[in-house]
Structure 1
Amino acid sequence: MTRIWQISTVTDAARARIATARLATAHGVTAVERTRLVTALTAQLRQCLTKGGPWRISVEATASPDGGGLFVVEVASARNPVPDVRPPWRVTAAFPEAGGGSEAEHVADDPETLAEALFGADEDAALLLEKLDEQERLVAFHREELHQTNQGVLALHAELDAAGRAQRELFAAEQKAHAEAEQARGRLTFLADASAALTASLNHDAIVRLLPVLLVPRYARTVDVWLFNEDGEEGDGEHRSRPHPAAAVLAARRGRPQYAADHPGGLPGVDDQPPSALEPKRPLLCIPLLTRGAPLGVLTLSPPAERWDADDAVMLIELTRRASIALENAKRFEHNRDIAETLQRALLTDLPTTPGLHLAARYLPATHGLNIGGDWYDAFRQPDGSLITVIGDVTGHGLHAAVMMSQLRTALRAYAVDGGSPGELLTHMHTFLHHLQPDLYATAVIARLHPDDPTLTWAAAGHPPPVLRTPDGQVRTLDAKPGAMLGIPIRQEIGDHTVPLPPGSTLALYTDGLVERRAEGIDPGIQRLTAALAAFRPADLDQDLDGAADRLLQPLLHDSEHDDDVCLLLCHIHSDAARIREAVPSGTRA
């Protein structure tokens, strides 16, 4: 459907506009689209009338296969020829269904009709404005909804950001706690290892030298150990003339750690002091070496960095306390060792001299512990002129064993005054030890030799067997049935054994420290002893029994470290003993 109008005047334009609006209504163009179309057409017609000249309006409604259609309005110049070659103005509007347009064939010129058409256009405009108002309210609603959504999104972002910060703070706190736990574990491990190293030594000087090795450079830059003597004064050695910080003196007097620096230390249990005049630019931590008695000295440290952590200071104070205990134990051990060595020297017997009978003894204390044990030897004459030689071993080590050994030695000499065989003497000692020290035991071998009697009488009580070398170089172990250990809670009578002892014979008495090794027992050691004794020439034993004793010990001691005492007593009958005794005046014989 196509309609055309010629426009020359305002009235023509009004009629064409009214007809176009009615056609659009008839074809089902919506009010909004119709208002837009008519408004645009009115504006274009006003421009055309302003320019002047005839104009042509054409309206075409075309249907589409899907049931709707397109409403097209075109305005073009009606002049011939057309001076304006611009394309015609066009506006379109879609409509859902094709409709009729017969009522728009003619529009009357009377004012009433034009007024009615004008009111109809105003109704469309009002409807359009109402639609626009609804759209504005809808837009305002959606704008508010969008605003609320944005606020929610912002709040969510804020919550997520707060949660992220909290998570980061928790992670940082966890990392810090983990680092602190690792540091605490490191301090405890160091404290345990350092304590083990300090208490492993009983050497006073070694402990003092070990402290800087342990602390530098991890926990201290420098370490100074100031030690006192027994009177509380400054000790001997390299520290005697060195000046010490005032904080160290205060630590010694007050018995509390002192921190000397130009800033507060904030260390628990530590008093703050002004910086030291000796080291004004470096902080110093002075910790007293306290014991149950008088203080041993002061440990002065300088920090590896600017200052110490509080936990490090607590650990250093605890380590100093343990070092004090180690130093006190070392001093007590050295004191007891000195007493033991003095007692040991007092108990070593001066061997008697007998023409034709040579004696040689060796005693090597253990290299661990107090360096003294219960091993002992003795040799003395009986009233009948015979010579008693004895070697024994009291169980245990230290002063108690040494004192008990001294008592046994004295008791044996007392029993031997009345005579008696080696077995009888051991029986008396067994009874004596059982009543004197019920919880202490001993082993012993007693041998009796007489210069005029070529017979050896001996008895043993739980002791390694004697070894006898005959003049022909043969060596045998005197392993006849021995008695039980001395002091055990049984009643026993220890018997005597005799063997020939011709001139040139050598008897070896020893303790288990000479022959026993942990990895192999005692028998291989006895075999080594017999082999070494057999290797001597007769002249070696006649001329230098002391040198023979030294050479006998050397191959048996594989190294300088041994856990038990070693005691050896050699008794040698000279090969020409009879001639030697005849050469000695009778008044000077034993």
Structure 2
Amino acid sequence: MRRTWRIAGVTDAARARIGLARVAAAYGVPPLERIRFGTALSAHLRQCLTKGGTWRLTLTADTSAAALSAEDPATAGLTTDGPASGARCLLEAVVTPSREASAAGEPPWRTALVCPEAGPATEAGVVADDPAALAEALLGADEDTALVLRRLTEQEELVSFHREELQQTNQGVVALHAELDAAGRAQREAFAAERKARTEAERARRRLTFLADASAVLTASLNHHEILRRLPDLLMPVYAGRVEVRWFETEEPGRDAGPRLAAAEAAARTGRPQYAADHPGGLPGVDDQPPSEEDPARPLLCIPLPTRPAPLGVLTMSPPGERWDPDDAVMLVELTRRASIAIDNARRYEHNRDIAETLQRALLTRLPTPPDVELAARYLPATHGLNIGGDWYDAFRQPDGGVIAVVGDVTGHGLHAAVMMSQLRTALRAYAVDGGSPGRLLTRLHDFLHTLQPDLYATAVIARFHPDESTMTWAAAGHPPPVLREPDGRIRVLDDKPGAMLGIPLKQEIADHTVPMPPGSTLALYTDGLVERRARGIDPGIERLAAALGSFNPAELEADLEGAAEGILHPLLSDSERDDDVCLLLCRRREVGAR
């Protein structure tokens, strides 16, 4: 189909415009595309009328596949409402200028439209010249315009709806962002609080660990001078930059402490820690003082060493940095308190040790020197650092010239056992004045202990030597057997039946035993601490004692009995830690007048 309109005025342009609209409608072009197509044409026709002259509008309908496939992409964009796959016709409008316009170089104007239908439209573009037809075409254009306006209204409503929906969405996104930001801030605050709590817990753990370790170090010693020496080494350099201990026992009378120790004097006077600096310390339980005149910029913490009735001294220290953490200061005060307790305990222990050693020296008297018997003794208490226990030895002469040698063991250790041992020792000496054999003496000690101390038990062995006899009489009550070395080096363990322990609720008569003991013989009396071990019992220890006594030659025993006692103790006590008192008494028989 091909149709041509000659346009020389407004009426011709309107008639061509109406005809083109009818053709597009006949070919099934949607209203919006039809209006867009006609509007573009009207705009160009308006320009043509402005320029003047005669113009020609040619409308061609081409249904060939080549025309459809060769459609220009710019013209293809005009089809928006119909699918391209259903198009069977291409409407092409060409406006060509008159000869005058063409001579002036005016190019032709061309536009195209793809139609969904290809029905015949031979009379569709014919427009009558009467006004009624033009009016009808004008009213039809108004209907198309109304349709466009309705579509525009729908689009505006849709845009408004989407705008409102988008605004609500934006508000929701903003609110969500605010919630996420608040949640993130709360999470960051929670993480920060957790890190802070974890850091504080780790610091507290380190303080408690240090306090426990330092307390163990301070209480490990029973020498108060050693504790004072260890205290600065424990504090520097982690908790203090410099440490001084002012010990009141070493202060010179009337000595002026000077301004630097004013806080220390206040601490000693009030018994409260003092903080001397040019700024408040803010330390719990610590009083603030003016800075020291010697070094005003350096803070000082003075903590008394509290004991009853008055402090023993003052610990003065400077911080490792600018100042102390309050929790560190609390820990330092607690450590100082524990140090003062350890020092006070060490001082009390040293005092008790001095008393015990004095008592021990009074109880373990010097051995006698009879002409026919040589004696050597060794005593080692079980209590560490306290030289006193329940084991004891003694030797003395009887009125008839005989010599009594005794080794005993009172149950328990320490001062109580030593006091009871002294009572037995005194009772034995009193009974021996009246004479009597070893068995008789032990029987009387048993009655004495059972009557006066029913809850106390003891063991003992007594040997009696007489210068007119070449024998030795002995008796034992629950005690390890004596070991006898004969002059030829042979060893005898005197394990004849002994009596029961002294003090048990049982009536007993302890028997005497007599063995030959010529000059050159050596008798070993001892307590179970020398030979008994928990893992092996007592018999292997007695065998080792016998072997040690038999290892000496007669000349060594005759020349140095004291050295022989040391030589016996060393191999027997070097294999394990001693947990009981040890007592050893060597008695060597010699010729009368040999020394």
TM-score by length of 2: 0.88
Judged with a 3 Å threshold, the aligned counterparts in structure 2 of structure 1 residues 422 and 301 are, in CA distance, closer, same or farther, namely same
Residues 543-578 of structure 1: per-residue CA shift (max 9 Å, x gap) = 44334334443444428974433322222221x33x
Judged with a 3 Å threshold, the aligned counterparts in structure 2 of structure 1 residues 10 and 150 are, in CA distance, closer, same or farther, namely same
Q: CA separation in 1, counterparts of 2:560 and 2:181?
A: 98
State the Cα distance separating 1:196 from its structure 2 match. Answer: 2.4
State the Cα distance separating 1:89 from its structure 2 match. Answer: 1.5
8 Å contact kept, 2:260–2:293 = no
Residues 251-273 of structure 1: per-residue CA shift (max 9 Å, x gap) = 22212222222222222222222
Partner of 2:241: 221
Which is worse superposed, 188-197 or 122-131?
122-131
Partner of residue 435 from structure 1, selected from 451, 454, 459: 451
State the Cα distance separating 1:57 from its structure 2 match. Answer: 0.6
Which is worse superposed, 281-290 or 494-503?
281-290
SS in 2 for 1:325: helix
Partner of 1:11: 11
8 Å contact kept, 1:446–1:458 = yes
Partner of residue 330 from structure 2, selected from 314, 317, 341: 314
Q: Which amino acid in the other structure matches residue 414 of structure 1?
A: A
State the Cα distance separating 1:107 from its structure 2 match. Answer: 2.7
SS in 1 for 2:411: strand
8 Å contact kept, 2:450–2:503 = yes
SS in 1 for 2:508: coil
Judged with a 3 Å threshold, the aligned counterparts in structure 2 of structure 1 residues 318 and 548 are, in CA distance, closer, same or farther, namely same
Q: Which amino acid in the other structure matches residue 531 of structure 2?
A: V
Which is worse superposed, 84-93 or 419-428?
84-93
8 Å contact kept, 1:55–1:79 = no
Q: Does 2:300 align with 1:280? A: no
State the Cα distance separating 1:146 from its structure 2 match. Answer: 1.4
Judged with a 3 Å threshold, the aligned counterparts in structure 2 of structure 1 residues 164 and 260 are, in CA distance, closer, same or farther, namely same
Partner of residue 415 from structure 1, selected from 412, 425, 431: 431
Q: Which amino acid in the other structure matches residue 316 of structure 1?
A: L
Q: Which amino acid in the other structure matches residue 76 of structure 1?
A: T
Judged with a 3 Å threshold, the aligned counterparts in structure 2 of structure 1 residues 517 and 105 are, in CA distance, closer, same or farther, namely closer
State the Cα distance separating 1:460 from its structure 2 match. Answer: 0.9
Q: Percent identity?
A: 72
Partner of 1:585: none
State the Cα distance separating 1:415 from its structure 2 match. Answer: 0.9
8 Å contact kept, 2:17–2:42 = yes
Q: Does 2:179 align with 1:163? A: no
Which is worse superposed, 437-446 or 362-371?
362-371
Partner of 2:79: none
State the Cα distance separating 1:241 from its structure 2 match. Answer: 8.8
Which is worse superposed, 266-275 or 474-483?
266-275
Partner of 1:326: 342
Q: CA separation in 1, counterparts of 2:267 and 2:482?
A: 61
8 Å contact kept, 1:443–1:461 = yes
Q: CA separation in 2, counterparts of 1:148 and 1:81?
A: 58
Partner of 1:584: none
Judged with a 3 Å threshold, the aligned counterparts in structure 2 of structure 1 residues 235 and 29 are, in CA distance, closer, same or farther, namely farther
Residues 102-129 of structure 1: per-residue CA shift (max 9 Å, x gap) = 5545333344543443444344334323
5+ residue gaps in structure 2? 69-84
Q: CA separation in 2, counterparts of 1:301 and 1:519?
A: 51
Partner of 2:368: 352
Q: Which amino acid in the other structure matches residue 166 of structure 1?
A: A
State the Cα distance separating 1:331 from its structure 2 match. Answer: 1.0
SS in 1 for 2:103: coil
Partner of 2:45: 45
Q: CA separation in 2, counterparts of 1:292 and 1:12?
A: 130
Judged with a 3 Å threshold, the aligned counterparts in structure 2 of structure 1 residues 262 and 81 are, in CA distance, closer, same or farther, namely closer
SS in 2 for 1:183: helix
Which is worse superposed, 83-92 or 265-274?
83-92
SS in 1 for 2:395: strand
Partner of residue 557 from structure 2, selected from 541, 550, 564: 541
Q: CA separation in 2, counterparts of 1:440 and 1:155?
A: 89
Q: Which amino acid in the other structure matches residue 196 of structure 1?
A: A
Judged with a 3 Å threshold, the aligned counterparts in structure 2 of structure 1 residues 192 and 404 are, in CA distance, closer, same or farther, namely same
Partner of 1:198: 218
Structure-to-structure mapping, 1:384-395, within 5 angstroms: 384-395=400-411
State the Cα distance separating 1:249 from its structure 2 match. Answer: 1.8
Partner of residue 520 from structure 2, selected from 499, 504, 511: 504
Judged with a 3 Å threshold, the aligned counterparts in structure 2 of structure 1 residues 550 and 142 are, in CA distance, closer, same or farther, namely closer
Judged with a 3 Å threshold, the aligned counterparts in structure 2 of structure 1 residues 504 and 349 are, in CA distance, closer, same or farther, namely same
Which is worse superposed, 84-93 or 192-201?
84-93
Partner of residue 149 from structure 2, selected from 107, 111, 129: 129
State the Cα distance separating 1:414 from its structure 2 match. Answer: 0.8
Residues 307-356 of structure 1: per-residue CA shift (max 9 Å, x gap) = 22222222222222222221111111111000011111112222222223
Q: Which amino acid in the other structure matches residue 66 of structure 1?
A: G
Q: Which amino acid in the other structure matches residue 556 of structure 2?
A: D
Which is worse superposed, 21-30 or 171-180?
21-30
SS in 2 for 1:503: coil
TM-score by length of 1: 0.89
Judged with a 3 Å threshold, the aligned counterparts in structure 2 of structure 1 residues 32 and 235 are, in CA distance, closer, same or farther, namely farther
Q: CA separation in 1, counterparts of 2:459 and 2:178?
A: 90
8 Å contact kept, 1:454–1:502 = yes
Q: CA RMSD in A?
A: 2.9
Judged with a 3 Å threshold, the aligned counterparts in structure 2 of structure 1 residues 67 and 547 are, in CA distance, closer, same or farther, namely closer
Q: CA separation in 2, counterparts of 1:282 and 1:439?
A: 64
Q: Does 2:55 align with 1:55? A: yes
Partner of 1:462: 478
Judged with a 3 Å threshold, the aligned counterparts in structure 2 of structure 1 residues 449 and 76 are, in CA distance, closer, same or farther, namely same
Judged with a 3 Å threshold, the aligned counterparts in structure 2 of structure 1 residues 240 and 545 are, in CA distance, closer, same or farther, namely farther
Q: CA separation in 2, counterparts of 1:388 and 1:34?
A: 149
SS in 1 for 2:470: strand
5+ residue gaps in structure 1? 582-590
Judged with a 3 Å threshold, the aligned counterparts in structure 2 of structure 1 residues 519 and 206 are, in CA distance, closer, same or farther, namely farther
Partner of residue 179 from structure 1, selected from 196, 199, 221: 199
State the Cα distance separating 1:403 from its structure 2 match. Answer: 1.5
SS in 2 for 1:471: coil
